[in-house]
């Protein structure tokens, strides 16, 4: 099998390629001169992509997509039989968890099986999803039993959502494989992006991805736990954090407080904790803290106000600021709790078009109390005398009591 760098006429297929991980990578590879095909079961999303419309916000992609469609190097289809025509097949599907927050291996296996069926000897199969430790080697054994000579590599994605096009060409790429040929081919693949290559055995690469997301999730939980403690003492968490981090190197990793949502951090922390006989108890406690923050905020409000007669507005329903993705956003959990406790809940988000959401002016006017759910730039200049709960410390013109500065 060849270990030479990919040539200009090499073909790459990305399974699950219409999503936040696969589509930016596909566009960047096409820009680098590779024939690239997005393979995805979501026909509606594929039609949007083929019409030149991005299905989600990604910095720089709105301009790049029409260019790559016009170049003839970017393609999209729902037909998996095209996988046989490509040199490299990359799987970017999200690894789901079940109702017990355990990895759903059966779903992953079904996708991999449908991916392998049209593949043939000499191809490189690269997994770019977050997987449970040992899954890559397990996949390689399955490939060997099938009799196909396919190199299996695992190269976890490391991007921040919305910044993929910039970070794919800047961040080092972790590369692993189940053979020396797989490692070499995967490394040469990412060298096309001028990336620094970090080689690891498969299980260490799998752990590297899970450790990264779990570390961030636990780090945020520490901040949120401290926020709750500060509130109980009537202290301003933001002032405490600013005091201990200013010009003090040993505290520079002290995260700010706020909602921790999105499709990865909680899920991957639970994957790492799953089947590990409670070794990662920190992860389980972090989940209790982060997922419990909305309830804590509502309980704090109940201690100060009769919510049954008040209307509450939630500013931002995306899982993070300047983002149009609402997956696993704790703003929805907050809305659910508020619906049971207060007279009316109003939600607004300039990044998400939803018939149940109201405009920002309407939310500000109708609400008696406001809670910041996502740090969108559009909220920076909000000025109101109404009580505002800003866990993030993001709003410069309102105080903890809601009066303008």
What pLDDT, in 10s, does the model give residues 202-251? 999 999 999 999 999 999 999 999 999 999 999 999 999 999 999 999 99
Residue 346 phi/psi, 5-degree rounding, is: -115, 135
Which of 109-123, 187-201, 272-286 has the weakest average pLDDT?
272-286
Residue 405 predicted with pLDDT over 60: no
Q: What DSSP letter does each residue of 116-137 carry, written as one string?
A: HTT--TT-EEEE-S---TTHHH
- What are the start-end ranges of the H helices in 195-329? 202-232, 237-245, 265-273, 281-304
Q: Starting at the edge strand that comes first in sequence, how are the strands of the sheet with 344-348 ordered?
A: 344-348, 311-315, 369-372, 388-389
- Residue 99: what pLDDT? 65
The two structure tokens encoding residue 313: 């507005």
- Residue 101: what pLDDT? 63
* Rg from Cα positions in the chain: 23
- What are the start-end ranges of the H helices in 236-278? 237-245, 265-273
Catalogue the E-assigned strands of 136-289: 151-154, 173-177, 197-199
Q: CATH topology of 11-200 equal to that of 208-389?
A: yes
Catalogue the E-assigned strands of 19-91: 35-39, 74-77, 88-91
Which residues partner with 75 through β-bridges? 37
Q: How far is CA 145 from the centre of its chain?
A: 34
The two structure tokens encoding residue 4: 């030479």
**Mean pLDDT within 164-170:** 94
Between residues 266 and 373, which one has the greater pLDDT?
A: 373
Confidence of residue 4 (pLDDT cuts 50, 70, 90): very low
Q: Which residue has the tokens 């403690």?
A: 229
Residue 31 predicted with pLDDT over 80: yes
Of 184, 175, 226, nearest to 204 by C-alpha is: 175
Residue 404 predicted with pLDDT over 50: no
Cβ-contact 389, 372 below 8 angstroms: yes
Which of 4-8, 23-27, 97-101 has the weakest average pLDDT?
4-8
Alpha-carbon distance of 185 to 188, in angstroms, equals: 5
- Residue 132: what pLDDT? 87
**Mean pLDDT within 182-206:** 95
**Mean pLDDT within 300-312:** 96
**Mean pLDDT within 338-357:** 97
Residue 151 phi/psi, 5-degree rounding, is: -80, 135
**Cα dist. 140→71, 118, 162 in Å?**
35, 16, 32
Element spanning 187, H or E: helix 180-191
Considering the segment(s) 208-389 as one domain, its CATH architecture is 3-Layer(aba) Sandwich (3.40)
**Mean pLDDT within 378-392:** 95
Cβ-contact 24, 168 below 8 angstroms: yes
Which CATH superfamily hosts domain 11-200?
Answer: NAD(P)-binding Rossmann-like Domain (3.40.50.720)
Beta strand 151-154 with 11-15: parallel, antiparallel or unpaired? unpaired
Residue 303 predicted with pLDDT over 80: yes
Beta strand 173-177 with 151-154: parallel, antiparallel or unpaired? antiparallel
- Residue 1: what pLDDT? 42
Q: What is the DSSP letter of 209?
A: H
Counting every residue, how long is the chain? 405
**Max CA pair span of the chain:** 71
Q: Which residue has the tokens 């779990």?
A: 214
Alpha-carbon distance of 149 to 121, in angstroms, equals: 4
Residue 127 phi/psi, 5-degree rounding, is: -90, 125
Which residues partner with 40 through β-bridges? none
- Residue 401: what pLDDT? 52
Confidence of residue 13 (pLDDT cuts 50, 70, 90): very high
- What residues does each domain of the chain span? 11-200, 208-389
Confidence of residue 398 (pLDDT cuts 50, 70, 90): confident
- Residue 281: what pLDDT? 87
Alpha-carbon distance of 74 to 71, in angstroms, equals: 7
pTM, two decimals, is 0.91
């Amino acid at each position: 099998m060849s270990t030479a760098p990919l040539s200009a006429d090499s073909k790459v297929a990305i399974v699950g390629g219409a999503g936040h991980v696969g589509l930016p990578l596909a566009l960047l590879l096409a820009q680098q001169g590779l024939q690239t095909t997005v393979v995805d079961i979501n026909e509606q999303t594929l039609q949007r992509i083929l019409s030149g419309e991005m299905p989600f916000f990604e910095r720089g992609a709105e301009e790049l997509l029409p260019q790559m469609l016009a170049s003839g190097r970017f393609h999209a289809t729902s037909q998996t039989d095209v996988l046989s025509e490509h040199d490299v097949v990359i799987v970017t599907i999200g690894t789901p968890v079940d109702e017990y927050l355990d990895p759903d291996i059966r779903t992953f296996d079904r996708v991999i099986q449908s991916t392998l069926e049209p593949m043939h000897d000499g191809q490189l199969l690269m997994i770019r999803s977050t997987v449970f430790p040992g899954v890559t080697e397990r996949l390689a054994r399955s490939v060997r039993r099938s009799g196909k000579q396919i190199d299996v590599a695992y190269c976890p994605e490391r991007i921040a959502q919305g910044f993929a096009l910039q970070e794919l060409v800047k961040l080092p790429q972790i590369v692993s494989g189940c053979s020396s040929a797989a490692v070499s081919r995967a490394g040469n693949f990412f060298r096309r992006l001028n990336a620094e290559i970090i080689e690891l055995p498969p299980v260490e690469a799998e752990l590297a991805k899970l450790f990264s997301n779990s570390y961030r999730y636990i780090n945020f939980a520490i901040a949120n736990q401290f926020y709750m403690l500060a509130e109980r003492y009537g202290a301003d968490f933001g002032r405490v954090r600013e005091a201990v981090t200013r010009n003090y190197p040993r505290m520079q990793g002290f995260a700010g407080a706020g909602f921790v949502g999105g499709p990865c951090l909680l899920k991957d922390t639970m994957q790492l904790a799953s089947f590990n006989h409670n070794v990662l108890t920190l992860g389980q406690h972090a989940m209790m803290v982060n997922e419990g923050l909305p309830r804590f905020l509502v309980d704090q409000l109940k201690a100060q106000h009769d919510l049954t007669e008040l209307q509450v507005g939630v500013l931002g329903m995306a899982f993070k600021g300047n983002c149009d993705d609402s997956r696993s956003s704790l703003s929805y959990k907050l809305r659910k709790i508020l619906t049971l406790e207060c007279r009316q809940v109003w939600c607004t988000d300039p990044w998400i078009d939803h018939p149940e959401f109201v405009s920002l002016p309407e939310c500000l006017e109708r609400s008696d109390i406001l809670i910041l759910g996502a740090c969108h730039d559009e909220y920076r200049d909000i000025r109101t005398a109404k009580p505002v709960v800003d866990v993030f410390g993001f709003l410069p013109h309102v105080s903890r009591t809601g009066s303008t500065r």
